[in-house]
Every structure is written in structure tokens, then in C-alpha cells.
Structure 1
């Protein structure tokens, strides 16, 4: 069973219509890919694992250790490695009472 027209004229018309439709679909694919790329860029990076909360003022000295993403760290926080966070705690820097980085790091 052939569902296509038998004559050349209608076959050419159908071919043109299909080509135009395919072009429109490809244009929409480009738009959708651009939108997906924009949404991908809009996702913020994950928080660091550990941060040092810094003091107010020009010195910016560390005043507390936090687990990454802790809301108590505030805006003045600097990401640090696990080793740096452990060293800061063992050297007497205060652990955050909310996120308990000392417990997370196994320092009690």
C-alpha cells in the first residue's frame, strides 16, 4: 500500500513541504539547545566543603571554621581544604556551633 501521491508534481510539493518543516524543526532544536545551555550556566557551583569565617575589617583574620554551605559563615568566608580546616581547629580556631565542623572532621 503506497500512501504517497503517484504524480511528480505532488511528490515535489510534498518534498518542498517536508524540507521546510525539517528546517523549522532544526531551528527549534538550536533554540532549545541554547536555552538548555543558558540554564546549565545559571546553576550555581556547589559550596566548598570547608570555609573559614573572616573577621570584619581590613585584617580579615579567620575567626571560625564552618562546613561548606553553613549559613552562619556569612559573606566573609574563604574556602579551605579539609587539611587546612583540621589544622585551624587543632590550632584553636572556634568551630561553628551550628554546623559542627569539628564533629564532621572527627576532632572532638
Structure 2
């Protein structure tokens, strides 16, 4: 049957940690082991951070006289730092996501290594 990709609403739920139905199991494995797994992971983290960054922007603009360019710089820096610290645990977080979908611990690293990709990052 192949990999069935979740629709936009299911993907958003997946980004925030929801377990997808079993029919998406192979897609989840692909998501955590593809050549682009780390880029996919980073995109999910950015997408997950967007509502928080937008809320922080509105709150700070409303309550303080901080210039918008300075605020945007601060928010970009916070996104960068959050992304950096999350990416340092990307392989473990991918394993947790795979485990949530029924795969045994170590599956992501094993599959990436079998395909000649780095099993971990950095």
C-alpha cells in the first residue's frame, strides 16, 4: 500500500505530539528516517514555535515601548536558540515519536544507519 501522508489537520496534531492512526505508521517511520529527517524535524519545531512567538510579539508590542525591529531580533534569537537546543536532542526526540507509534526503541537510528545516513546528530 505504501506510505499514506496525513492531511494538514492531522499533521498539525502530529507536530504538537498527537499519535497518528496506524495507517500513517510507515509515514512516521519515513519522517524520522528519511534523508531529510533533520530538516523535517527543524520545520516542525519552527511551526510549533510560531503561535508562541506571535503571542509574545503581540504582548510585548502592546505592553512595552520596545521598537519592533529590536523585538523581532529578540524573537528570532529565541527561535534560533530554541531550535539549536532542540536539534541537539533530535535523534532522541525522533525515537520517542517512533515509540509513540509502536516502533521499538532504536528503530530510527538503526534505519538511518542501514541507509548510510548519520544515525544521530550532531
TM-score, reference length from structure 1: 0.25
Which has the greater radius of gyration? 1
The structure with the greater share of residues assigned to helix is: 2
More strand as a share of residues: 1
